[in-house]
Amino acid sequence: MPPQALADFMGERKVEVFCISDHDTLGAYGNFEAPPGSRYITGIEINTTWRENEVHVLGYNVPREPSAINELLLYNQQQRRGRAQTMVDQLRRAGYGLTIEDVLRESDEAHSVGRPHVAKALVRAGMTENIDTAFRDLLGRGKPGYVPQLYTTPQRAIEAIREVGGIPVLAHPGRLRDRILIDDLAGHGLVGLEVFYPLHEPADVVEFRAKAKQYDLVMTAGMDFHDIRYHTRGVGMEVDAADVAPFLDLVEVFV
């Protein structure tokens, strides 16, 4: 969705505080106004790689203007474009007549091109039934279009976010293959943990609350909304104000 349409969706859903934390770009900022009754925080979601695992690090309160973080983002953006091209090349060799132009048309911001855009291009071209089947049959590990990520490290992302005055938060820890990473990053400057997430089970929330308390991390919440076609819950989620108050005390909130 274009940034303003997404912000308007926040208003429709009565979201009180939000962040458009796009992957590896701050391009949304300056291109939307918050709807009445909503406030927003600047932020970004940085893709990183750790022991062949994809790890997402959120950077809240990062500056909109060019800063030291841009070098890291440029590296990731180059990796994204190269990875998308390799996916297309592999799919073409497997008999799927996709082009990189097909993939880029699915992204308003080519710097953020990724697997979801390849999946959407496959669906639009009638080469697979839906997003889920694209990931399961063509883009997952061991499938024709699978290409491993080679992004910056989560440790470097945390350092870069802190260098520009941002708040580094580990996104959706319930999706980690190895949760020991939480302990590692807590000793490497991590400030927050995304405790509240739609796919976290109650036991996950209990575990991550304990981790946040153990390492004195602020707790955050994230819907991880990408596209209403496959994130049908929409935007926004209910959280206890007291749980996220320490986080909100750390960041600048805009109207």
Do 25 and 88 reside in the same domain of the chain?
Answer: no
Domain total of the chain? 2
Q: Does residue 240 fall inside a structural domain?
A: yes
pLDDT in tens, 47-82: 999 987 889 999 999 999 888 898 888 888 888 889
Do 35 and 19 reside in the same domain of the chain?
Answer: yes
Determine the structural domain holding residue 90 and report its residue range.
77-139
Does the pLDDT of residue 155 top 70, yes or no? yes
The pLDDT assigned to 66 comes to: 86
pLDDT in tens, 208-232: 999 999 999 999 999 999 888 777 8
Structure tokens at 37: 């009754």
Do 168 and 244 reside in the same domain of the chain?
Answer: yes
Q: Does residue 13 fall inside a structural domain?
A: yes
In whole numbers, what is the pLDDT of the chain averaged over residues?
93
